[in-house]
Structure 1
Amino acid sequence: MSKRILISIPIVLIIIGLIYFNLPFEVTRKTDIEFGNKLVERIEAFKKEKGQLPTPNDWMALEELGFKTEMLGTDPTYEKINENEFELIYLEGFDGPYLLYNSRQKHWKIDFPTIPDRWK
């Protein structure tokens, strides 16, 4: 009886792991997406009020919008692509693809960030 339990526990854990890693990112990253959607609403309201998007290095404005500031930037990373478009990027590790939201496409996806116009 105890041998069956000892053998079945790792098998059950492996099955649970396989199920979890095959779930869509909308399920596994739900809290990140919900927080990001709140930030998107606040950024759009900022744009309506001020007539422009906040700049990525305006820490005061980004904190007021609700971004979590960290030593190397914000979480998620905010990037202004051009005067009308921005991206929110959840950076994890050094190489992508990352979870990101593009304001032109208006949906979350797993992809590589867009190069901002000011870098071209």
Structure 2
Amino acid sequence: MTNKYESHGTPLAEYRLTRDDHRRQEEKERSTAYVRRVVDSAPPLSAEVASKLRDLLGPFPRRSPSDYMRWRVRLYCGHIQEVACLLSEPRPASEARCKECGKNPSVIVAFEPDGPFEE
């Protein structure tokens, strides 16, 4: 089965942020700040609980680079970068941390597939 990959806008073309882009960015910033407040206010885990969590989660299986699709994305901050998602995903995640300016989160406002990773 061949996956159909979505595109939204053209990351390399000139882009004007929309109201929806601003709204999504504000929502991401609010939810990220909320999660940080909750995590910061939580009591620290005991060594026993941390060990149980590590055992429960276990090691994640290593994936081959060929399991990933490269995406060219334009971020809310205006920077363009490449991100990777599993081949089975029709589109990249909704946000990323900008490698240039550090904005985190920065919603993805335009994206296009750029081809699978090679081994």
Q: Under a length normalisation based on structure 1, what TM-score does the superposition of the two structures give?
A: 0.30
Which structure ranks higher in relative contact order (CA pairs < 8 Å, sequence separation ≥ 6)?
2
